[in-house]
Structure 1
């Protein structure tokens, strides 16, 4: 197996607006997602994600962000295996056309992540699928949703990421060997949610913060 990148390296790329790959446990979903900070998305990045990732383009949000946007759950009773907390789909209220182009989806993601946005700034249904993270992040639920919010906040950005599952060209799920090849081919950092959990745990005992650039800040409740 190829050596993975450290969480510090992954956080730095998130801070710089680059995409990263994060994998969950093999006994869970056993998948890897492309992730990028929501406030850093561009049409070019979204185009890469949907054309190369091939999964469902989603946006991770904290509970606070979802409430601020007035988003409600997609279903009243969530019976999905891992409890993925989808809300109704969204579109930016202004600055988009049909909503499906990479330009429109990038616009929607940026609007949803903006701290000043309100329910008036989005409409539903749309072509972006928000997912709400647990308040405790990966320390409460070891999912890509929580990882997306945690990584962005650790990078000092709005706690939201655009994420998409990575599929192989034949449509099958990309597993770790496939993901390592994908990461190398596209020059992307790759890590695991398990390592992010350990990183967050280590921060809980960190009393003296280092420089903000070298070490992202400790997470606070959303």
Structure 2
């Protein structure tokens, strides 16, 4: 069964239809029904509950969570994929208590209003919000981020409702079963991988924030700064000479904390080119470009590398909150 394109999926989201989105086989290897939160109806919630049978959740932005004052469920998230569950919510003061499709749809529509207030909802409740990473699927390839991205890209409030699709025997549906489900219910089906590719090709992910002459230990360079629009980090490029010259030496330098910040000599011939080596080479050539890429090392990676360098087998990772 051929997969649907991202533009076709966005058309259905815009029209208030649900779609199926699959993640990678080496991740959760699951498919979720996805719909823009503002398009939810009791009938759709009933379909989610009776046909998909998974946990009905509401992906939202961090801004929405702050607007409604919804705290995270836990501070120390130890789930396998670090899904950001918040405390569950309810808005049944207007329709009475319960977990009917009508009541859950009402809660979602109340929470997704542009002028929604903390007093519009109560906690805990029957809807489970999930907070998406600010960079969407470009930062985390999960259904949470995919739902928010699809809603935003379709021109809706950046919030969605998702539910895992299960087989009749209670197991999770994989691609063959998901394709049958899509055909049976006439639903479009796509992948998070395709959404990542589409965003990477069609959206600007960095912007130049400044250019400055600076003196370094290797002489004068021009520093250009860029903001990563996905995660908000600042990246740097240093160049010497005319960037339009042919055969310009270029070094893309992922910053390694041990090697480039602490100046550590790495074992087993893994030293590679350091930032200092790259800058010295460009200075010697009198022209060239060094692009510094930081922020790719998580605290766990840094601590693991330190432990390996020190010859210890275990190390306590730093706090994540």
TM-score (norm 2): 0.63
- Please give the per-residue CA displacement for 1:101-139, whole angstroms capped at 9, x wherever unaligned: 000000001111111001110000100000000000000
* Structure 1 segment 140-219 matched on structure 2, within 5 A: 140-204=139-203
Distance 1:175 1:77 in 2: 30
Distance in structure 1 (CA, Å) of the matches to 2:164 and 2:69: 26
Q: Which runs of 5+ in 1 are unaligned?
A: 207-218
Compute the displacement of 1:93 (Å). 5.2
Give the greater-gyration-radius structure (CA): 2
Return the alpha-carbon distance in structure 2 between the equivalents of residues 103 and 133 of structure 1. Answer: 25
**Aligned mates of 1:47, 1:73 — CA distance in 2:** 27
1:101 equivalent in alignment to 2:97: no
> What is the RMSD of the two structures over their aligned residues, measured on CA atoms?
1.5
Partners of 2:175 and 2:68 in 1: how far apart?
Answer: 36
Q: Count residues with an aligned counterpart.
A: 208
- What is the distance in 2 between the residues matched to 1:65 and 1:93? 19
Give the drift of 1:173. Answer: 0.3
Aligned to 1:4: 3
2:77 matches 1:91: no
Q: How does 1:131-146 map to 2 (within 5 A)?
A: 131-146=130-145
Runs of 4+ that moved beyond 2 A? 93-96
Which segments of 5 or more consecutive residues in structure 2 lack a partner in the other structure?
206-228, 232-321
Higher relative contact order (CA 8 A, sep 6+): 1
Deviations 1:122-157 (A, max 9, x none): 000100000000000000000000000000000000
Deviation at 1:86, TM superposition (A): 0.2
How does the TM-score come out when normalised to structure 1?
0.91
Q: Is the 8 A contact 1:91 1:99 kept in 2?
A: no
Work out the CA distance in 2 between the residues paired with 1:220 and 1:158: 19
